[in-house]
Amino acid sequence: MKLLIVEDDREAASYLKRALSEAGHAVDYAAAGRDGLLLAAGEPYDVIILDRMLPEIDGLAILRTIRASGVKTPVLLLTALGGIDDRVEGLEAGGDDYLVKPFAFAELLARVNALARRPPTQELRTELAVADLKLNLLKRTVTRGGRRIELQPREFQLLEYLLRHAGRVVTRTMLLESVWDFHFDPKTNIVETHMSRLRGKVDRGHGCELIHTVRGAGYILREPD
Amino acid sequence: MFRSTSLRLAGLYTTVFALAVVALGAITLFSTRHALSEQFDARIRAESAALVQEYRSEGLKGVVDAVHERDHTPGSLDFGLQGPSGEPLAGRLATTRAAMGWSLLRRGGQAREEPVRLFAVALPDGYKLLVGDDEERIEALDGTVLRGFGMAFIGVVILGVAGGYALSGDVHRRLAAITGTAEAIIDGDLARRVPVRGSDDDLDRLALTFNRMLDRIAALMESLRQVSNDIAHDLRTPLTRLRQKLEAGLAAPPERGPALEGALADLDSILDTFAALLRIAQIEGGARRAAFRPCDLASVARTVTEAFAPSAEEMHRALSLAAETGVIVDGDAELLTQMLVNLVENALRHAGPNTRIAVEVARRGRAATLLVTDNGPGVPEAERERLFDRFYRLERSRSTPGSGLGLALVAAVARLHGAEVELLDARPGLQARVTFPEAA
């Protein structure tokens, strides 16, 4: 993927740039808001990583400007401000996701991958499927190998999220935010316990596992090799 | 309006003034009356002395003539002359019976009685002279005085009530403006100020002082926000770099892995504490109140208990929910969720294995309550209140993970919602009770 980082802290930016490149992405970098604005408006990127607090032009101002000029590239906002209002403000300005500094690189990588646009056909689908696992969005049913699996509503949401991001890592925080709407970090392993129940229902008794734990990052649901 | 101080004062003032008019009327009445009767008595005394003198110089005939003559003069007093055995001799009072000296007589017997002030004096040789005067004139004067003061009284009351109403209405409006501003500020609109007239009266000065106080508070809040932002930015930036370096280091030499992982975990715990502090400061700033919406407490409780059920089971705690439906509070759903999460986590962490944790949502009258009750070891009464302090931790909990900020955040969220949060003895165990203010 082709990414743009707009971040005034050169040291942090160069680390990100290196790490993202190692993860196989092509990365452009702008240290000042003005350069970032020019690059964002002129080049086709898959995802823009934008720091909120920049000298000269504020990150949110850049975001509003590029949105106003019709650029629809997904934007991940990075911020040192962790307030609730700050998040809401960021999303209202046209941000697609929001990450509070400091963060684990795995978290950033997972969110960047999740933000990248998928083929548009996916929007119209009523069924999500990976291998022999099928989830029907209209009937709210799940089957594996033709056998019906009974899920609690929250487990259904969890599986739906994993299927929508099939083949990509989803982190614990991403699940907390999108499945439970928890925008804070509980000290209890609620994601882990729900996930283990879901895996028990989806994977137990089947030859190959579809849901995998990615150490230090999160979970991934993918086609068996 | 009728509970306003200014109107009460105006009412009190009018009452006092009206009472003063009544007292003044009474004093005037009594003193004029007194002066008049003295004057009347003096006239009676003078007339009787004149007639006694007449008797001495002219004899009985002279007195009888004098009485007759006076009887025919308009506006004169009444007289009566009686013989030694009481036989009437002359005058309008000739048949009147009266003891010697002063007396008050009721005369008439017809439709209306007229009081007569009477003075009887003995003449030589057993004759008796009576001199009397109608009291009616005094009573007529009483009537005039009373009418005058009655009008004055009514005038005072009308003026007092009307003036008081107008005056208190004005004061009331100005005080209401101050109250309205204070309430808007409490609701998080820190930019509001009390309108000032520029008349430099005491209420204007109060408004100015109030506004200066608000400016000061706004400046303090702004500097707090600024400090939070500075901390957030200036401290988080180097911490981000540190985290990145540790992460990078983790990838390189495998034998250093565990040490770096430990350092990373320590760093994350510092960052957690730091995030919690910033969040508490932000909540206490009160700005969130502007975003309050009606929130269904039962649905918040359901989300949280459902999220924690598998973890609770794994930890051998029975987590249950009993929620009345339709318990709505005005608030911030995200913060209410976090508050309940912290209360449930607190119970999970401190109740111990094989305990029950019950979450309840109920209505008491018009107030909503949220209860989290465990049957664990509980907390001694002396320490319960202190648990809401930042970084306060029980001795036995020091070895368990946690920042000591969970309940401080609960207290901050409760305060923001105008709710009261208490820790009670559940015999055995601990009960956290959040009581929300009554819905409007």
Write out the DSSP string of B122-144.
Answer: EPGGG-EEEEEEESHHHHHHHHH
Return the residue matching tokens 């998928």.
A118
Q: How many residues in total does chain A contain?
A: 225
A12 with B237: Cβ contact below 8 A: yes
Decide if B9 is inside a domain: yes
Check CB contact under 8 Å for A184 and B233. no
User: What does pLDDT average to in each consecutive run of 10 residues of chain A (225 residues)?
Assistant: 90 89 92 86 90 84 90 89 79 91 89 78 75 91 92 93 93 94 88 94 87 91 87
- Residue A143 has a pLDDT of 93
**Dihedral Cα A139, A140, A145, A151, nearest 10 deg:** -150
Asked if B302 and B364 sit in the same domain, the reply is yes
Residue B108 clears pLDDT 80, i.e. is over it: no
pLDDT confidence bin for B266, thresholds 50/70/90: confident
The alpha carbon dihedral of A99, A101, A107, A110 has a sign of positive
Asked if A53 lies within 8 A of B233 by C-beta distance, the reply is yes
**What is the pLDDT averaged over residues B334-358?**
92
A184 touches chain B (CB under 8 A): yes
Domain identity same for B302 and B158: no
Whether residues B144 and B204 share a domain: the answer is no
Instruction: Determine, yes or no, domain membership for B109.
Output: no
* Closest-CA residue to B185 (of B216, B224, B227): B216
Question: Nearest CB to B334: which of A19, A82, A84?
Answer: A84
CATH number of the structural domain spanning residue B41: 3.30.450
Distance from CA of A140 to the nearest CA of B (A): 19
Name the residue in chain B with its Cα closest to that of A185: B272
Contacts of residue B110, Cβ cutoff 8 Å, sequence gap at least 6: none
Contacts of A53 in chain B (CB under 8 A): 233
Q: What is the distance in angstroms between the Cα of A189 and the nearest Cα belonging to chain B?
A: 7
B275 sits in which H/E element: helix B257-284
Please indicate whether, in this complex, the C-beta atoms of B337 and A189 are within 8 angstroms of each other: no
A31, exposed or middle or buried, with CB in 10 Å at 0-12, 13-18, 19+?
middle
Same domain, B315 and B348: yes
Local structure of residue A225 (DSSP, 8 states): -
Please say if the pLDDT value at position B403 is more than 70. no
CB B244 within 8 A of CB A9: no
B198 falls within a domain: yes
- Provide the CA B131 distance to its chain's centre, in angstroms: 66
Helices of type H across chain A: 10-22, 33-42, 59-68, 84-92, 105-115, 153-164, 172-175, 190-202
- Average pLDDT, whole number, for chain B? 83
Last residue of a domain, one of B144, B168, B186: B186
Number of domains in chain B: 3
Q: Is residue B375 assigned to a domain?
A: yes
Distance, CA of A111 to CA of B256 (rounded, Å): 28
Residues A187, B348: Cα–Cα separation, whole Å: 11
Which of B186, B218, B246 marks a domain boundary? B186
Within 8 A by CB and 6+ apart from A155, the residues are A194, A197, A198, A201
Contacts of B275 in chain A (CB under 8 A): 82, 100, 185
Chain B residues close to A187, C-beta within 8 Å: 345, 349, 401-402, 406
Q: Does A105 touch chain B (CB under 8 A)?
A: yes
Q: Does position B40 have pLDDT exceeding 90, yes or no?
A: no
Least confident interval from B91-95, B113-117, B140-144, B322-326:
B113-117
What are the structure tokens assigned to B103, written together? 């007396």
Tell me: do B36 and B138 sit in the same domain.
yes
What's the CATH number where B389 sits?
A: 3.30.565.10
**Co-location of B263 and B304 in the same domain:** no
A22 touches chain B (CB under 8 A): no
Residue B231 has pLDDT above 80, yes or no: no
Q: ipTM value of the model?
A: 0.86
Residues B118 and B211 reside in one and the same domain: no
The confidence band for B41, taking pLDDT boundaries of 50, 70 and 90, is confident
Q: Is the pLDDT of residue B299 over 90?
A: yes
Residue B266: which residues within 8 A CB-CB, separation 6 or more? none
Is the preceding omega at residue B310 within 30 degrees of 0, hence cis?
A: no
Checking if the pLDDT of B400 tops 60, the result is no
B137 and B180 fall within a common domain: yes
Mark whether B280 and B300 lie in a shared domain.
Answer: no
Residue B227 lies in a domain: yes
Average pLDDT over residues B408-431: 90
Burial call B132-162: b when 16+ CB within 10 Å, e when fewer = bbbbeebeeebeebeeebeeebeebeeebee
pLDDT (average), residues B401-406: 70
Report the residue of chain A nearest B288, measured CA to CA.
A85
Q: Is B402 part of the contact surface with chain A (CB cutoff 8 Å)?
A: yes
Supply φ then ψ for residue A6, to 5 degrees.
-115, 110
- Is B333 part of any domain? yes
Q: Which residues of B touch A154 (CB under 8 A)?
A: 306-307
Longest Cα–Cα distance of chain B, Å, equals 157
pLDDT at B3: 65
Give the mean model confidence (pLDDT) for residues B216-241: 78
Transcribe B348-408 into DSSP letters. Answer: HHHH-SSEEEEEEEEEETTEEEEEEEE-SS---HHHHGGGGSTT---GGGTTS---S-HHH
Show which of B156, B186, B216 is a domain's final residue: B186
- List own/partner pairs for B226-231 with CB under 8 A and 24 or more apart: B228/B278, B228/B281, B228/B282, B229/A81, B231/B274, B231/B278
Q: CA B313, B385, B292 angle in degrees (round to 5)?
A: 75
Query: A184 vs B288: CB contact, 8 Å cut-off?
Result: no
Domain shared by B271 and B209, yes or no = yes
In a shared domain, residues B61 and B148: yes
B411: containing domain: 290-436
pLDDT in tens, B50-88: 888 888 888 888 888 888 888 888 878 888 888 888 888
Does any domain span residue B108? Answer: no
Q: Write the CATH number for B223.
A: 1.10.287
- Best of A184, A192, A196, A215 to mutate (most B CBs within 10 Å, chain B): A184
Same domain for B279 and B306, yes or no, is no
For residue B331, tell me if it sits in a domain: yes
